[in-house]
Amino acid sequence: MREENTDKRSSPRRSGAHAAAPERPVRSRKAPARRPETGAEGNRAARQAEAERKAAQKTAKAEARAAKKEEKARRAELGKAQRKKALRRLQIAGFCLLFLAILLLSGGAIGGHAVTNNGVNFPKVMIGSLPVGGLSYEETLAALEESGWDEAAAAALRVTLPADVSFKVDLCDAGAMLTKEAAAAAAFRYGHDGNWFSNLFRYVKNTFVAVDVAENRLNLDQDYIRQRAQSGVDKFLRNTAAGVEPYTVDKEAEQLTMVKGAGELGINLDALCSQISSALLDGAKTLDYTQIECDLQMPDFEAIHAELSREPQDASFANAEFDVIDEVVGCDFDVQEAQNLWQAAGPGEDIAIPLSITYPEITGEELRSMLFRDRLGSQTTSYSGSTDARINNIHLAVSKINDVVLMPGEQFSYNEVVGERTTEAGFQAADAYNDGEVVQEIGGGICQVSSTLYCATMYAQLETVERTNHYFKVGYLPYSMDATVSWGGPEFIFRNNRDYPVKIVAYCNDDTRELTIEIWGTDVDGTYVELSHETYMIYDEEYPDVVIGYAVQGYRTVYDKDGNYLEKRKGPYDIYHFHDYDIAWPEEKTNPPDEGGGDSGGGDGSGDLYAPPDPPEPVEPEIPQEPDPYA
């Protein structure tokens, strides 16, 4: 019966909704010890008592486990109720936060949309030192233009390297400065290129803190900077390369120039780019880069001196083709001075070594310009009234003598140059004198060319070597200014007695029917001549009162360039005969004397076309002495 009482006391008590603290289980009291019994009865009683003790312990453990389980269930129930209550509170708080977030997001979206699409810059946006807050894109452009932004953007960083090398780095292309359009776009882009919320955040921030978009947007273009630096380095290497001339000679400046270390110099491209970038970020306008990698060796100035040192020499003619050997300019310099200047110069610097220059008196250019620059003499004659055949012969002879050049001392032979007058050579038959008769001769008319040429050489003061006048006077030239020719003789030969070559320029003008021959060369003193003559009547021996011709003494009078008289030289002494029909023979004369061999020209067809003027009244002639040969 005690065990039942024990169970009732061990059951939990509850008060209202909360269970009371569990009561400690009441342990069963031990029965009063009995006196041991003897024998079998005693053993049985002992076993029974032991069984009861174990049963009581087992019951007590079962009750403890049940109480613990009940306490755990009670606590679980209590925790569940508390969680439900906390969850309810969280739900309410979450709803409130969600409502607040919705309100904030809605307000932020509305504000972000407004500032994103307001069409003007944010309040405190700056472009450098220029405030552009509240301006539209177009207004920002106008403000930048008024501030001189274009001029500043057009500036460039000038980089100078040794060896006279420099190049520009454009600020805008290098990313060191924005163009006017890019700066205005950057100002407007700030706070307008993100989402509504980021734009709103920037707007609020910019309300208190100014932002320089020109500085924030700078981003140096290293590829462009490297490209510009490479171009400068390439030019430096070209200017100092081993393949260029080791030195140059400036005769006008009288100096020898060279680059110290040519072919031995180099520039570190990365270091140059780094300095350019730093200069751009610092706002510098110039950069003088002098860092050179080099291994220098002094040039052999003794060898250079041996190569350059020379005495001056005048230009001269080389051969019969009139090639000009150019002048040699005298040159010298001090080797020791050159070495000192080289040692004092820095790598890549230009070195100017003084030269002693001595110029010759005659240069190649002067000699070439002197050739055929002056017209020394000329003569024009008319072939008006000539036949076509005679004009053909004149043209042909002119073409053969035109552009003939004579070197100093060289002779000209008319027959050799024109050649034998044959039909195969293109000559035609024309009127000519032969033994005082008008006949048809192949090449008639060529004596007009030889006579015109002779007259031009007289004015050019060239030396006549061989010349014969016509038997009769010609109508196209005055007395003593003609020269007859024929194949086999007579001949016309002259020599270039000047110091420079001369050239014959011959041409015909068929419109005016005139032949012109000029002598071109170099007039060194400006002297000129005038041709004149004196005539004397020649009388027939049998009829002393009858004039049969003229004796003519030619003269050349020489003047200086200012027209002052220098000298008068005797020219040729010629005898000209009258045609028989022009001689006033006495009436009793029936057989006139022989004309004396006819035309000494033997083939000139000119005399027959030009009658000499009427002779003057006969006077007592004074026959002069035969003149000496003239120069």
In the chain the first and final C-alpha atoms are separated, in Å, by 190
- The more confidently predicted of residues 244 and 229 is 229
Residue 620's pLDDT is 41
Residue 227's pLDDT is 92
Q: What share of the chain is helix, strand, coil (3-state, %, to 5)?
A: 35, 25, 40
Helix 269-281 / helix 222-239 crossing angle, nearest 10 deg? 130
* Rounded CA separation 572/316 (Å): 35
Query: The tokens of 270 are what?
Result: 């990365």
pTM exceeding the 0.85 threshold for the entire prediction: no
Taken in order 115, 118, 124, 125, is the CA torsion positive or negative?
Answer: positive
Residue-wise pLDDT tens digits, 172-210: 888 877 787 777 777 777 767 667 667 777 777 777 777
Strand arrangement of the beta sheet that strand 411-413 belongs to: 411-413, 493-495, 463-466
- The more confidently predicted of residues 245 and 85 is 85
Taken in order 306, 310, 315, 316, is the CA torsion positive or negative?
Answer: negative
Q: Is the pLDDT of residue 34 over 70?
A: no
The set of long-range contacts for 14-20, using a CB threshold of 8 Å and a minimum separation of 24, is 19/70, 19/71, 19/74
To the nearest whole percent, how much of the chain has pLDDT over 90? 40
Amino acid 360 reads P
Q: Is the pLDDT of residue 623 over 60?
A: no
* Rounded CA separation 504/513 (Å): 20
Any idea of the CA torsion for 285, 288, 289, 295, to the nearest 10 degrees?
Answer: 170
Residue 485's pLDDT is 94
Residue 420's pLDDT is 95
Residue-wise pLDDT tens digits, 239-258: 777 555 678 888 888 999 98
Task: Tell me how crowded residue 559 is: count the other CB atoms within 10 A of its CB.
Answer: 15
* Rounded CA separation 193/203 (Å): 12
Tell me how far the alpha carbon of residue 558 is from its chain's centroid. 55
Residue-wise pLDDT tens digits, 379-404: 999 999 999 999 999 999 999 999 99
Residue-wise pLDDT tens digits, 502-560: 999 999 999 999 999 999 999 999 999 999 999 999 999 999 999 999 999 999 999 99
Contact 583, 539 (CB under 8 A): no
